[in-house]
Chains A and B, each alone.
Chain A
Amino acid sequence: MKMDTKKIAATFAVLMLALGIAGYAYAHWSDTLWLKGTVTTGKFGLQWTFDATLPSENTKPVYGPVANLTWKFVDDANGIHKGIVITLDNVYPCLNVTGHIDIKNIGTIPAGYVDSESNMTVNPDSAKEWVDIYEATPFGDITQIEPGEDAGYNFIIHFNEATLQGATATVEINLVFWNWNEITP
């Protein structure tokens, strides 16, 4: 019976303490001001258009074209051209393929060109000996593309004297753009 009394007393003390703390916490008045922010981010996007031609002398009067050139776009889920696959068949030494790449900024943020050199791969690596790519309009000349605007690049693919017979090579070039403000002039 004596134990019960102690328990009751202890419980009461704890309860009083809890109420005291709660009472103190609720005692102050307060007012709250709200800062409500929204961040609407822009859209960063680029799309290719492409055109390339073989020299007129590639087409023989009777035989027809010797080398053949085809290409197709690689689209993303939204149908936007993100890549180009160019196929050249039956090429030969001294063949020049001239092409034009047009890159349009379809976003709302200016795009700044970063580089392409470090993003070019040739497979097999030995094909670098016989495939030369010249930038008639160097990519680096156009540093920024504003939203809605486009920039054109001209290039030449030349197969030099060391071109191997019956060989196949793939060349992949990635043009890298960042939002313009991240590029140090």
Chain B
Amino acid sequence: MTLLKKSKTSMPAIVAVALMALTIVGFSYAHWSDTLSLEGTVTTGKLCAEFEKGMESQKDPFGPFNDWTCDEGFGNIHQLTKNIGYTNITYETENHDNCPNIFKVDMVNVYPSYYEHIGFWVKNCGTIPWVLTKVTFNPGSVVITTPEYVTLDLNGDGKADIEIKWGDNFGIQTDPGKDFEISFQIHVLEPIPQDSVLSFTAAIEVINWNEYPLPP
């Protein structure tokens, strides 16, 4: 009896709580809604430059070809009557998606006044147009952004051992799949030591076309 009485007292309270809860829940379900979704994917392009094998040209490759010479400053370029030195050109690929990114120039048995003219082709192997922006020569960290004449001290004795005259194509836009030729002249100077192996590099940098020219 006591239990029945207690149940009679609790029932309204339970109902009230249930109604309140349903009201709250009901309110949240009560409105209509619609949702628009924006789903985005960004597929970035690829900026890629590569050397084109087989397109190179030079004056004095290995073989029965007489050497060339010139005066300091690239004057009086002319062919000699002997075949003493030569220049090998090879390509290498190093961490570059199988695109050749190293152009090797090996000058063999050369001597003061030896001269070589080399041309090579660079192709846009990516999907973004790019612009040739600068070339950095080492040793010496010599940076050029226009066709220029540079000298390099290869053995650190304070005297220039070779001089290089770099061709143009700075600032030219190259679209994907397109290519262009770069050429340079190289001349061995008097102070170069004999019976030596000396190295130099030129880093040829291209950037996405819309960022050129870079801020000073």
The answer to whether A and B come from one shared complex is yes
* Complex: A38 Cα to B195 Cα, angstroms: 13
**B112-126, CB < 8 A from A:** 112-114, 122, 126
Verify B199–A41 contact, CB threshold 8 A: no
List chain B residues, Cβ under 8 A from A44: 111, 194
With A and B bound together, what is the CA distance between A67 and B111 in angstroms?
46
Of chain A, the residue at the smallest CB distance from B50 is A33
| Stretch of B5-13, B18-26, B57-65, B202-210 contacting A (4+ beta carbons < 8 Å) | B202-210
Docked pose: A37 CA to B184 CA in angstroms = 13
| Contact status A41-B50, CB under 8 Å | no
Chain B residue numbers with a CB within 8 Å of A181 are 67, 69, 80, 82, 111, 113-114
Q: Is B143 an interface residue (CB 8 A)?
A: no
Question: B residues within 8 A CB of A36?
Answer: 102-105, 199-201
- Is the pair A32, B205 in contact by a Cβ cutoff of 8 Å? yes
Contact with B along A149-182 (1 / 0, CB 8 A): 0000000000000000000000000000001111
Contact partners of B207 in chain A: CB under 8 A: 28-30
Docked complex Cα distance between A40 and B197 (Å): 4
Give the shortest distance, in Å, between A171 (CB) and chain B (any CB).
Answer: 30
Please measure, in the bound complex, the distance between the C-alpha atom of A109 and the C-alpha atom of B108, giving whole angstroms.
Answer: 12
Are the C-beta atoms of B188 and A37 separated by less than 8 Å?
Answer: no
Q: Does A53 contact B (CB under 8 A)?
A: no
Q: What band does the interface of chain A fall in when counting residues whose beta carbon is under 8 Å from B?
A: 20 to 34
**Residue picked from A24, A179, A181, A182, most chain B C-beta under 10 Å:** A181
Contacts of B192 in A (CB 8 A): 39, 41
**How far apart are B155's CB and chain A's nearest CB, in angstroms?**
10
Q: Which residues of chain B come closer than 8 Å to A40, judged between CB atoms?
A: 106-110, 196-198
User: By the criterion CB–CB under 8 Å, are B201 and A34 in contact?
Assistant: yes
Hey, which chain A residues are within 8 Å of B214, CB to CB? 25, 28
- In the assembly, what is the distance between CA of A39 and CA of B186, in Å? 11
Contact B49–A33 (Cβ < 8 Å): yes
Q: Is B211 an interface residue (CB 8 A)?
A: yes
Q: Is the CB of B194 within 8 A of A28?
A: no
- Which residues of the partner chain A approach B113 to less than 8 Å between Cβ atoms? 179, 181-182
User: Which single member of B48, B67, B82, B188 contacts A39 (CB below 8 Å)?
Assistant: B188
Q: Does B153 reach chain A (CB closer than 8 Å)?
A: no
A78 to chain B, nearest CB (A): 11
- CB pair B111–A41 under 8 Å, yes or no, is yes
Q: A32-B205, A38-B197, A41-B188 are in contact. List 16 more A-B contacts (CB 8 A).
A: A29-B47, A30-B208, A31-B48, A33-B103, A34-B204, A35-B204, A36-B103, A36-B105, A37-B105, A37-B186, A38-B200, A39-B199, A41-B110, A44-B111, A109-B84, A181-B67
* A–B complex contacts, Cβ < 8 Å, 27 sampled: A25-B214, A28-B214, A29-B208, A30-B47, A30-B207, A31-B47, A31-B126, A32-B206, A33-B50, A33-B51, A34-B202, A35-B102, A36-B105, A36-B200, A38-B197, A39-B110, A39-B188, A39-B200, A40-B110, A41-B111, A41-B188, A42-B194, A42-B195, A179-B113, A181-B69, A181-B80, A182-B113
